[in-house]
Structure 1
Amino acid sequence: MRPKVICHIMSSVDGRLLPGRWTLPFDGTPAGELFKEYAEIGRLLETDAWMFGKATTRESFPYKFMPKSEQTVLPGLVFIPSSLSQRLFITIDPDADIFYTSDKLRGDNIIVVLGTNATTDYIEMLREKGIGYIVLEDVKELCKAMEILAEQFGVRSISLQGGGIIDGAMLAAGLLDELSLVIYPGIDGLTTSPSIFEYLGADDERPADGQALELLSSETRNHGIMWLRYKLHRL
């Protein structure tokens, strides 16, 4: 058993993910008003957890943990804090080095997915702060992470909110059930800007193979925003 995963992402019309590069609304509306619309749509999804990749999490916790020990941990460790918020925040950290200043992000308890490169003192830091964690043999075992989140943390649905690397990894693993694409009415235009899905694979890999999109709904929102919702089918 695993949670339902909805990739909920806002991009420019050319599919790019860096809001600071997007052109401004034509009518002078502050861009922040459009980002509020994205957040409002996210609430409509009614998931009981939301999830970032490492780069996006670092925007909130830009501190690096400096281990004092080289001793690493064994796979299979799971820590569930004694008290959990109604909604959970999940992040994938392949380097096990984010230094958290709180056990919560935006009021929601943090759960971290790690690999066996995590040091024992890093794990101790998480436990002391009351941050939940899952240690896998390889942090790329996303299917296993989803199973543990469902079975031990009671997570039924996740809003995956990027960035592009974790979106691409989840796509390649066949773990996306829906795509909630919010299109901001602006353009980036730069070839090298990150996009919605950024799978880190070989040139001959096709991370979306065996999957197809069915349009569930399309809606024009405030400020010229488009909201497209798709179901992913396994063929």
Structure 2
Amino acid sequence: MNRPYVICHMLQSIDGKIAGGFFREKETTKLAKIYSEISTNYDGDAIIYGKTTALELFSLTHLNKSSNITYNLTDHVYQKENKKWLVVIDLKGEIAWDSSIYKNRRLQDKNLIVILSEAISNQYLELLKKLNISYLFAGKKEISLKVALEKLYDLCSIKKLLLQGGGITNKFFIEEDLIDELSLVVSPVVSGESNQPNLFEDCKDYLGNVFDLKQSDLLNKSGLYLKYIRK
């Protein structure tokens, strides 16, 4: 199977949290700039987010799902110029996209593509088309990440993909053994917030994935950068 090389690139607390109060600490704020620089230097063809992360980053809301199921299950790819991609996984088509998204700096140099299951209404697909948002189908009721990655490779020429959460999406990738590299910026702050997501959230079984440490750097005297490659 041809698929993108997947790099899970995240900023986390010492105890593995990827959201919450530790982001307000000055130590984390300084490291966030380095995190962004590393992300830029990777020069990936695309960044991929889960639904929850996309809702937070774009300040959008949930959509009331229509019961009018579609029978037109053809992938739709709209690509303006030679821009890179921002990919969002949205199983049931629950994100209420609108034209305001194009004011967001994250989309200034990227085309937007949504990964869907087949349980989607015609109405929702028409909304995506109207907004020039591409979409790919990757399963009937559940999304197959392997199918999604293969389509992203073949239809969008995505060879290098930066996975940037959230914790549930990261978990799905690690469970299917689809993460080739871990790139972690660790803030010297302990979160302790049980209601905030972990790097890999809601894992009930032992995963057993093993990575080799390839790089470790001290950042701002107390932060860390860790790069792991899958064995």
Which interval holds the TM-score relative to the shorter structure?
0.7 to 0.9
Runs of 4+ in structure 1 displaced over 6 angstroms? Answer: none
Aligned to 1:130: 132
Change (3 A) 1:127 1:84: farther
Cα distance in 2 for partners of 1:99, 1:85 equals 26
CA distance in 2, matches of 1:74, 1:95: 15
Is contact 2:72-2:122 (8 Å) kept? no
Unaligned runs of 5+ in 1: none
Compute the displacement of 1:22 (Å).
5.2
Indicate the residue corresponding to 2:188 in structure 1: 185
Asked whether the 8 Å contact 2:218–2:224 carries over to 1, the reply is yes
Q: Give the structure 2 partner of residue 166 of structure 1.
A: 169
- 1:229 corresponds in structure 2 to 227
Matched, 1:24 2:60: no
2:60 match? 62
Tell me which amino acid in the other structure corresponds to 1:195: N
- Given that 2:116 and 2:135 are in contact with CA atoms closer than 8 Å, whether structure 1 keeps it comes out as yes
Determine the C-alpha separation between the residues in 2 that align with 1:93 and 1:47. 21
Q: Output the TM-score relative to the length of structure 2.
A: 0.88
- When normalised by structure 1's length, the TM-score is 0.86
| Mapped partners of 1:109, 1:78: distance in 2 | 15
Equivalent position of 1:79 in the other structure: 76
Shift of residue 92 of structure 1? 0.4
Partner of residue 116 from structure 1, selected from 108, 118, 127: 118
Flag the 1:117–1:23 CA change in 2: closer, same or farther, 3 A.
same
Q: 1:199 offset after TM fit, Å?
A: 4.2
Secondary structure of 1:78's partner?
Answer: coil
Q: Whole-Å Cα distance in 1 between the matches of residues 82 and 169 of structure 2? A: 24
Say whether the 8 Å CA contact 2:88–2:113 is kept in structure 1. Answer: yes
Judged with a 3 Å threshold, the aligned counterparts in structure 2 of structure 1 residues 226 and 75 are, in CA distance, closer, same or farther, namely farther
Please give the per-residue CA displacement for 1:99-156, whole angstroms capped at 9, x wherever unaligned. Answer: 1124645112111001122111000000111000012324420100000000011100
Is the CA contact 1:93–1:113 (under 8 Å) kept in the aligned structure 2?
A: yes
Once superposed, what is the RMSD of the aligned Cα atoms? Answer: 2.1
**Equivalence for 2:16:** 15
Q: CA deviation at 1:38?
A: 1.1
Cα shift at 1:223 = 5.9
- Distance in 2, Cα, partners of 1:85 & 1:147: 20
Alpha-carbon distance, 1:43 to partner = 1.1
Give the gaps of 5 or more residues in structure 2: none
The aligned residue for residue 220 of structure 1 is: 218
* SS across alignment from 1:146: helix
Aligned equivalents of 1:173 and 1:84: distance in 2? 33
Tell me the distance in 1 between the aligned counterparts of 2:23 and 2:146: 34
Identity of aligned residues (%): 28
1:41 to 35, 38, 43: 38
Number of corresponding residues: 223
Q: Distance in 1 between matches of 2:48 and 2:73?
A: 21
Aligned mates of 1:51, 1:117 — CA distance in 2: 21
